[in-house]
Structure 1
Amino acid sequence: MKVTLVSEGTYPFAMGGVSVWMDQLIRGMPDYRWDVVTMTVDGKERPVWERPANLEQVISVPLWGRTRRRSSKPPGPGFSDAYGRFLEMVLTPAVMGDGGAEFLAVLEQIYRFAAEGGDLIGALTANESLSQLMDAWYWNRTDGLTLADAIVAGNLMGHMLRPLSEPPPRTDLMHVAMNGLSMLMAMTAKWRYGTPIVLSEHGVYLRERYLQYVNEPVSHAVRVLLLSFFRRLAGAAYVAADRIAPHSTYNRRWQVHNGADPARIRVMYNGVDPADFPVATSEPSQPTIVFMGRVDPLKDLHTLIRAFDIVRDKVPGARLRIFGGVPKGNESYQESCLDLIDELGLEGSAVLEGRVATQVDAYHAGQVVALTSISEGFPYTVVEAMACGRPCVVTNVGGVAEAVGDTGFVVPPRDHAAAADAMVRLLHDAELRRRLGALARQRVLSRFTLRQSLDDYRAVYRELVGARA
């Protein structure tokens, strides 16, 4: 069997939970052949993962690199009809989950235009299309849209729809790591070859786009257009997918709310190899809280740092060690974390350590592992820490509470006082730490092993490919 994994901004060009999961699948099924298609920024990214022997090719689809337009001619009535319906659906308020099949059909019309040599960016920024956009906005909205907004929106939309212009891969099955733009590539393979699709969602893609665009440097009108597009795309993706494999029941509820057919959904948890995460046999001499993960606004390290400010007052000599790299583009967020540490007078006791040789070293470096994210799927870092026998303090987002169960403390997101209270309780009570750590390890062994995860995916792959045959 040949499986093609599709993602946006991850493996093999970036670290993180999605990349770990993709590498696990490829290496864990050496009898399968694999391709990887990754949506990248400009195609200049370099791999940071060692390539497995059964990974045959990596295809980069640069969304934001420059493109040479093939034609300056008007896009024609076929495209204009499809684009008109596209705008009507994007700009019309709708109940979440409605219209997924219809929007999928509109996307297929746009794909046919691109497959026949049409230039999407050129078409979306042509005078005719700009006029269509402004007219549609006028009839469906009460606020204003300027010509400049229309040009910006058309250009951004052209780049986001670029996967529709790429040749569909020939493969037995498309497995998409996340909703959104990655699904466009899977849709083209289904339209062209009838290829079945598995859609996994580690986080809630649509929710994260809303969080992202709060601070995006675009006008309100452009923000409305793009978020409405993502909402419609999410619904169409759920219709296109033959199997939807969320990593938590939290994600499953979100998907059903957005129009996914419950009969197509199967929750499939991430897993780890317990042998790779041995139980810690000792604790550091100083009371230490550890964070392991990328430095990213979604991880909400500001809340963690503010919680630690309270912890330090109640637990003399406490330390906060933040392990993890800084993805490109997140340098300003890293600076904001350092500024907050300085503002609160935590220099020396709260430290951004950067990348660590192995995750195990990070988990063993503290008595307590903390994750104060505002959005998650089913994070590996929590399951890995649990496998090491460390109790966790986490926020109640995504599938985090499902992972931790009764082996740690779950607090509301952005509530630094609640997080601090949980951390202080664990740091003060060695017997509680020992008991919860043992329960955490046992929970991983019974529910979240890599072998269980791989067996689940093999079953789904065989089911879909067998049905197609």
Structure 2
Amino acid sequence: MSLTDKSPASLAPDTQGPSPGRIPSRVCLLIGQLGLGGAEKQLVLLARGLSARGIRTHLLVMFEKGAREEELRHSGVSLVELGFRRRTTGRWSLLADIRAFLRFVAFLRKERPQVLQAFLFHSYVMAAPAARLARVPVLLAGRRSLGFYKAGHRLALAVERIATRWTDFLVANASAIADEVRRDEGVPATKISVIPNGMRPEEFEVAEPAEVATSLPVVLCVANLAVHKGHRYLLEACATLRASGNPCTLVLIGDGPERPELRRTAERLDLDVRFLGSRTDVAGYLARADAVVLPSLSEGSSNAVAEAMAAGRPVVATAVGGNPELLEGRGILVPPADPAALAEGLQQVLTDRDTAAALGRGAREWAMANLTADVMVDRYIALYRQLLEGRSPV
């Protein structure tokens, strides 16, 4: 269901189900750190899934571990800190990073993984030379966001293009991202595939609703409080709802630099907005929400939208990035930066309970068929098999 005339990209992963070829016995995964972001969540799910299938799995972190370290306990995944410095300033920091890079190469030579997969920019620009020096048979790089944040950063773009040439294959988590990489970077279609995000089994379980003291409908938004997430348009949409006689309580989970300004705006518009900050107990708030909203101006493949779908909640989101791939026919899509359209979409699900329930059911059924962690891990293993065909045994 759409309130925009944009045509969504179809969700058609190139890698589905088992494929012939040898299954890797040793895989290394690389990321900057293990915070609470969506990429980190997917990396941990992949690592656990590979280990559960008997694949020796090392998860390497460049800078520091983080909150998701706990999720790897008793999983069989080996966690390795490489010791890179997040900010390289001065001779000693540079020397520390050189030592960390050499440590990385030495580890790869000792472990001899058949596959090295890097997540996010810092990781895959560092993985490309290290994999060459260590003669890793297959190097993959994950593309998990649109490239708007690199616009104007010529050095970053140049380094990324060199790394891409040294990389065997790219994996995007949304068709919109893969399309942008092919269009803007000239990467051939044969070098990039789409594997959607996955979710843990417990994310499909019915949770106990969280306590939100209000007599109004509850609208939930789970997103960092950053400009590109579009919260200012969401607040304007809520003001429009209130003016039309349909007020709501807006619950915001997430934190970021926009929080002070958004608080001032909420007070100026006389809105009931609950700023809950960053937290991990999202399931209870999903169960409590009458609607879930994502007003982003740009987006890759949203974990927040996927989690709302798994919980069976009706979702209103902007038709940007991978959102249409997730929600076309299963949610309400509106143009970005359009508070009137956002208000209209929210009013529809808040006042038409039958439509809201049907959207929630359809979203949950589709997520259960397409967005489980098992489906994601199986697709990655099938891709590893394909890429290892014809390579010399190691």
TM-score category by the smaller chain?
0.7 to 0.9
Q: 1:207 to 1:162 in 2, by over 3 A?
A: farther
Query: Hey, what does 2:166 align to over in structure 1?
Result: 240
Q: Does 2:335 correspond to 1:409?
A: no
Q: Does 2:262 correspond to 1:337?
A: yes
Unaligned runs of 5+ in 1: 71-118, 122-158, 211-223
Following TM superposition, by how much is the alpha carbon of 1:378 offset from its aligned partner in structure 2, in angstroms? Answer: 1.1
- Tell me if the contact between 2:209 and 2:284 (Cα under 8 Å) persists in the aligned partners: no
Q: Determine the C-alpha separation between the residues in 2 that align with 1:333 and 1:163.
A: 35
Q: Determine the C-alpha separation between the residues in 1 that align with 2:370 and 2:390.
A: 29
Query: Hey, what does 1:312 align to over in structure 2?
Result: 242
Identity %: 23
Q: 1:353 to 1:387 in 2, by over 3 A?
A: same
SS in 1 for 2:233: helix
Within-5 A mapping of 1:292-307: 292-307=222-237
Following TM superposition, by how much is the alpha carbon of 1:423 offset from its aligned partner in structure 2, in angstroms? Answer: 0.4
Q: 1:370 aligns with which of 288, 293, 306?
A: 293
Q: Does 2:260 correspond to 1:260?
A: no
Q: 1:467 to 1:265 in 2, by over 3 A?
A: same
Q: Determine the C-alpha separation between the residues in 2 that align with 1:302 and 1:295.
A: 10
Q: How many residues end up aligned between the 2 structures?
A: 353
Q: 1:35 to 1:438 in 2, by over 3 A?
A: same
- Tell me if the contact between 1:287 and 1:427 (Cα under 8 Å) persists in the aligned partners: yes
Query: Hey, what does 1:96 align to over in structure 2?
Result: none
SS in 2 for 1:64: coil
Q: Determine the C-alpha separation between the residues in 2 that align with 1:396 and 1:316.
A: 24
- RMSD value, Cα: 2.8
Q: 1:464 aligns with which of 361, 366, 387?
A: 387
Q: 1:172 aligns with which of 114, 120, 142?
A: 114
Q: 1:63 to 1:301 in 2, by over 3 A?
A: same
Q: Determine the C-alpha separation between the residues in 2 that align with 1:451 and 1:48.
A: 19
Query: Hey, what does 1:68 align to over in structure 2?
Result: 91
Q: Determine the C-alpha separation between the residues in 1 that align with 2:186 and 2:91.
A: 37
Within-5 A mapping of 1:434-453: 434-453=357-376
Query: Hey, what does 1:105 align to over in structure 2?
Result: none
Q: Does 2:50 correspond to 1:7?
A: no
Q: Determine the C-alpha separation between the residues in 2 that align with 1:449 and 1:309.
A: 36
Q: Determine the C-alpha separation between the residues in 2 that align with 1:56 and 1:69.
A: 29
Q: Determine the C-alpha separation between the residues in 2 that align with 1:417 and 1:333.
A: 22
Q: Determine the C-alpha separation between the residues in 2 that align with 1:280 and 1:36.
A: 30
For normalisation by structure 1, the TM-score amounts to 0.69
SS in 1 for 2:289: coil
Q: Determine the C-alpha separation between the residues in 1 that align with 2:68 and 2:45.
A: 15
Within-5 A mapping of 1:43-54: 46-50=66-70, 51-53=72-74, 54=76
Q: Determine the C-alpha separation between the residues in 1 that align with 2:264 and 2:368.
A: 40
Unaligned runs of 5+ in 2: 1-24
Following TM superposition, by how much is the alpha carbon of 1:282 offset from its aligned partner in structure 2, in angstroms? Answer: 8.7
Residue by residue, what CA displacement relative to the aligned partner does 1:133-156 show, whole Å, maximum 9, x if unpaired? xxxxxxxxxxxxxxxxxxxxxxxx
Q: Determine the C-alpha separation between the residues in 1 that align with 2:122 and 2:99.
A: 9
Q: 1:282 to 1:361 in 2, by over 3 A?
A: closer
Following TM superposition, by how much is the alpha carbon of 1:47 offset from its aligned partner in structure 2, in angstroms? Answer: 4.2
Within-5 A mapping of 1:34-433: 34-40=57-63, 46-50=66-70, 51-53=72-74, 54-59=76-81, 60-69=83-92, 167-168=104-105, 169-170=107-108, 171-178=113-120, 180-195=121-136, 196-204=138-146, 206-210=147-151, 227-257=153-183, 258-278=185-205, 286-324=216-254, 326=255, 330=256, 332-346=257-271, 349-433=272-356
SS in 2 for 1:272: coil
Q: 1:271 to 1:305 in 2, by over 3 A?
A: same
